[in-house]
Amino acid sequence: MTKIFLIGIGGFIGTLARYCSQLLINKIFTSRLPLATLLVNLAGCFLIGLFFSLSEKNVINNDIKIILTVGFCGGFTTFSSFALENYNLIKSDNIIYMLIYSGLSMLLGLFCVALGIWLGKSC
């Protein structure tokens, strides 16, 4: 039960971090692409890769890994928003932007996971 509570706290913090990050990004940048969600998803991909690799090296224990990956990253990343934004881009006949957004999210997300794992392993 304690682990569930800690995951919930991690999720709460991740959700607030996502909301604040998106407010800040939207304030700084204007774009036809959903740039705030893209940047948050890339940051989340990097962090989950980093936390995963640090747990493999026993820098963080499995309980902390679960709190950070399931809790924080689960609250921080926004792939449900990603899907809805793609739907809205298609619905508004912005197919090219949907393809750019989806492609960047997938390719750069995988790169950021690998970068996080590499960085975690090199610590």
pLDDT of 116 over the 90 cut: yes
Structural domain count of the chain:
1
Average pLDDT over residues 98-105: 97
Rg (CA), the chain: 16
Higher pLDDT, 1 or 116: 116
Please say whether the beta carbons of 17 and 84 come within 8 A.
no
User: The domain containing residue 81 runs over which residues?
Assistant: 2-121
The residue type of 72 is F
Q: What is the pTM of this model?
A: 0.82
pLDDT of 111 over the 90 cut: yes
pLDDT of 1 over the 90 cut: no
- pLDDT confidence of residue 80: 86
Label residue 28 exposed, middle or buried (CB < 10 Å: 0-12, 13-18, 19+): exposed
